[in-house]
Amino acid sequence: MLSKGPGRVGQAALDKRKGAHGISRVIGTDAQGELTVTTEPDEVRELTRAHFDDMFRPRPVRPELLTEWAEEYAPKGRPEQYPATVAEVSIEEVSQLLKESPRNKAAGPSGVTFELLRSADADGVLAKQRPITLLPVVRKLFTALLTRRLTVDNQLRAGGN
């Protein structure tokens, strides 16, 4: 595959059949607590679906936890010590980061690249994307944003060096 060019490897990954998975058996316990192994494809598919439906089901928000953790996540020190870090993130700032983001980088498991985000931002469709599919790239983007802001604040506190 590599002999045909490095781009072919990425394309081969994208060409995989959607919805295909490699789960051929499910190991669990029955109502009596006995170990069971299921290999029938339809049952494996249904048990797998039920497992993930349960794992990612909507959970109730517990307001007491929000207030309990609010102090932990509140800014430490005085906000005037780090104005860039605590400033609200603007659309313009994210757009600028996207313009400066690396080009021709391999996509992660989601298949989302900076180029795709850049294109979606330019077309105004970024807000319509499902957030979960954007997580790896968005995490990198906002890590870069926070790093830049912390660097600015540290330079201000150190006397502008």
Return the pLDDT at 42.
Answer: 92
The reply to whether 89 and 42 lie within a common domain is no
Q: Is 62 a member of any domain? A: no
The Cα–Cα gap between 9 and 2 comes to 7
The Cα–Cα gap between 93 and 87 comes to 11
Q: Is 69 a member of any domain? A: no
Model pTM above 0.75: no
- In this prediction, what percent of the chain has a pLDDT beyond 70? 73
Q: Is 72 a member of any domain? A: no
Sorted by sequence, the CB contacts under 8 Å of residue 129 that are 6+ apart come out as 120
**Cα–Cα separations (whole angstroms), residue 125 to 12, 45, 75:** 27, 34, 32
The reply to whether 102 and 48 lie within a common domain is no
The reply to whether 110 and 152 lie within a common domain is yes
Q: Is 61 a member of any domain? A: no
**How do residues 111-155 score in pLDDT, each as one tens digit?**
778 887 787 767 666 655 555 555 677 778 888 888 888 887 777
Which range of 43-52, 81-90, 112-121 scores highest in mean pLDDT? It is 43-52
The reply to whether 95 and 140 lie within a common domain is yes
Q: How confident is the model at residue 21 (pLDDT cuts 50, 70, 90)?
A: low
Q: Is 68 a member of any domain? A: no
Give the domain extent around 83: 77-157
**Exposure of 97 by Cβ count < 10 A (0-12 exposed, 13-18 middle, 19+ buried)?**
buried
Q: What angle do CA 136, 140, 141 make, to 5 degrees?
A: 115
The reply to whether 84 and 51 lie within a common domain is no
Number of structural domains (the chain) is 2
